[in-house]
Chains A and B, each alone.
Chain A
Amino acid sequence: QKEVEQNSGPLSVPEGAIASLNCTYSDRGSQSFFWYRQYSGKSPELIMSIYSNGDKEDGRFTAQLNKASQYVSLLIRDSQPSDSATYLCAVNMGPSGYNKLIFGAGTRLAVHP
């Protein structure tokens, strides 16, 4: 069974702090990894994708990937109340060339003023 694991939270951080969201996955052959943000009652919104080991930065967001440890994380710097949402980690676990995303259960983030 191919799995993606996330801590369900809630993760509560004060405004301005760094929020750190973590994800592990079971399929060592996975090559592409994604973070989606989902506000309550809305559909998931892609915020980051990462394919290579190391860090990838986009504005206040940094995705980190360690394939050896089968671990991917998302850092949100200068957290704002508007960042309060559920963050879904998704891993492409399809065969080469086949786009099949497996989603984690999501981590609920609460940023308080």
Chain B
Amino acid sequence: SAVISQKPSRDICQRGTSLTIQCQVDSQVTMMFWYRQQPGQSLTLIATANQGSEATYESGFVIDKFPISRPNLTFSTLTVSNMSPEDSSIYLCSVGQGPNEQFFGPGTRLTVL
């Protein structure tokens, strides 16, 4: 499977600020996804990052809060904007390979004070 890296691995931010998380894959992939895992919870899909077009957001997530870029087939960014303590979560990117399988990056642990 592809090797996926994320930057930063963790960060502590002040409320009202924004953080951009990077996801890099070592091979070209068609499908990239962003998930959130709140403390003690399971994974929730935020959006699908589409190369060359706008991301597709899931219900409850909006572009103004979580803008996503996908400039090429190996890279994507997720920005968490105007952060509040409720945004404290682990943010994970995943890539789609094979018939519907997804593989996850190591995650970014975000704490908002």
Q: Which of B31, B48, B99, B106 contacts A51 (CB 8 A)?
A: B99
- Tell me the complex Cα distance, A46–B107, Å: 15
Across the interface, which residues of A come within 8 angstroms of B17, CB to CB? none
**A69 interface residue, CB < 8 Å from B?**
no
Total A-B contacts with CB atoms under 8 angstroms apart? 47
Question: How many residues on B have C-beta within 8 angstroms of the other chain's C-beta atoms?
Answer: 21
Sort chain A's interface into a size bin: 20 to 34
Across the interface, which residues of A come within 8 angstroms of B101, CB to CB? 34, 46, 49
**Min CB distance, A65 to chain B, in Å?**
14
Q: Which of A32, A49, A88 contacts B42 (CB 8 A)?
A: A88
Q: Which of B41, B42, B100, B105 contacts A99 (CB 8 A)?
A: B100
Across the interface, which residues of A come within 8 angstroms of B92, CB to CB? 43-44
Question: Of residues 61 to 113 in A, which have CB atoms within 8 Å of B's CB atoms?
Answer: 88, 90, 92, 99-106
* Residues in B lying within 8 Å of A, measured CB to CB: 1, 31, 33, 41-45, 48, 90, 92, 96, 99-107
What are some 18 contacts across the A-B interface (CB < 8 A)?
A32-B99, A32-B100, A42-B106, A42-B107, A43-B104, A44-B92, A46-B1, A46-B101, A46-B102, A90-B43, A92-B100, A99-B33, A99-B96, A100-B48, A101-B45, A101-B102, A103-B42, A106-B42
